[in-house]
Amino acid sequence: MSWDDIQPLLVQACQDTLFMVGWSALIAVLGGLPLGVLLVLTDRGGLVQNATVNKGIGVIVNIGRSVPFIILMVALIPFTRFVVGTSIGAEAAIVPLAVGAIPFFARLVETSVREVDGGLVEAVQAMGGSTWTVVRKVLLPESLPSLVSGLTTTVVALIGYSAMAGAVGAGGLGSLAVTYGYMRFDTGVMLITLAVLVAVVSAVQLIGDLAVRALAGRSRSQTI
């Protein structure tokens, strides 16, 4: 295949990948952030200690994390059809991607939030702050650099997962590499696709790292 043939495919694949990853990452944040925070709050010695809720969320998160993505995707087909009306295409791929990424991100959120100094929580409680105030004014802002770092990891993982979404006809870079590069033995397409994937992942990582550095800078630097 000549470059002229590949180029439109590549552009389309890039768009599909970014579409799938973007939406599923957004949903993962919306779902994983509260779950991760709840895991910390309901844990023993937490602000709203509740063993039942904690165990419940823990079990769901563990199940979500242990099912291989390709199986999750197939198993979720009925649910996907219910949510987006179809089980084929990029939109349909968002559902399993998001469902897989929520528990993944939730665990990362849990780790980040747990690292916030308990003394800060106590200080805000002593000021008369409620649990919600503690979450909003202490836990989230103080763990923000770490949360952003976790989001970067999640997005990179999603880019990897999205390659498998080709199995439900979702398109994207991974699917391009498989259908053109692997099935048609076109090494050129394979290499170009891989190069683009590496570039995308590197770009995501770089942006994430820069954001983390900018956020953490203020709390580390010793000079004004």
Partner 1 sequence: MITTTGLRKVYHSRGRETAALDGVDLHVREGEVYGVLGRSGAGKSTLIRCVNMLERPTSGTVEVDGQDLTALAGRGRRSRAELRAARSRIGMVFQHFNLLSSRTVQGNVELPLEILGVTGQERARKARELLDLVGLTDKAKAYPAQLSGGQKQRVGIARALAGDPKVLLSDEATSALDPETTRSILQLLRDLGRHLGLTVLLITHEMDVVKAVCDSAALMKAGRIVESGTVTELLATPGSELAQELFPVGGEPSGEGRTVVDLTFHGEAATEPVISRLSRTYNVEVSILGAAIETFGGRQVGRMRIELPGRFEENVVPIGFLREQGPQVDVADVAADARKELVK
Q: How far apart are CA 193 and CA 190, in angstroms?
A: 5
Q: Which is nearer to partner 1, 126 or 183 (CB)?
A: 126
Q: Which residue do the tokens 């179809």 mark? A: 86
| Residues 6 or more apart whose Cβ sits within 8 Å of residue 65 | 103, 104, 107
Q: How far apart are CA 41 and CA 19, in angstroms?
A: 33
- What is the DSSP code string of 115-165? TS-HHHHHHHHHTT--HHHIIIIIIHHHHHHHHHHHHHHHHHHHHHHHHHG
Q: How far apart are CA 182 and CA 173, in angstroms?
A: 13
Tokens at 48, concatenated: 């709203």
**Cβ atoms within 10 Å, residue 127:** 9
Q: Which is nearer to partner 1, 49 or 187 (CB)?
A: 49
- Least Å distance, CB 110 to partner 1, is 19
Q: Which is nearer to partner 1, 183 or 224 (CB)?
A: 224
Q: Which is nearer to partner 1, 49 or 202 (CB)?
A: 49
DSSP state letter for 67: S
Q: Which is nearer to partner 1, 132 or 185 (CB)?
A: 132
Q: Could you tell me if 53 and 129 are in contact, meaning their C-beta atoms sit under 8 angstroms apart?
A: no
- Least Å distance, CB 142 to partner 1, is 5
Interaction site with partner 1 (CB under 8 A): 117, 119-120, 122-130, 133, 137-138, 141-142, 144, 215, 218-224
Q: Which is nearer to partner 1, 16 or 142 (CB)?
A: 142
Q: How far apart are CA 140 and CA 142, in angstroms?
A: 6
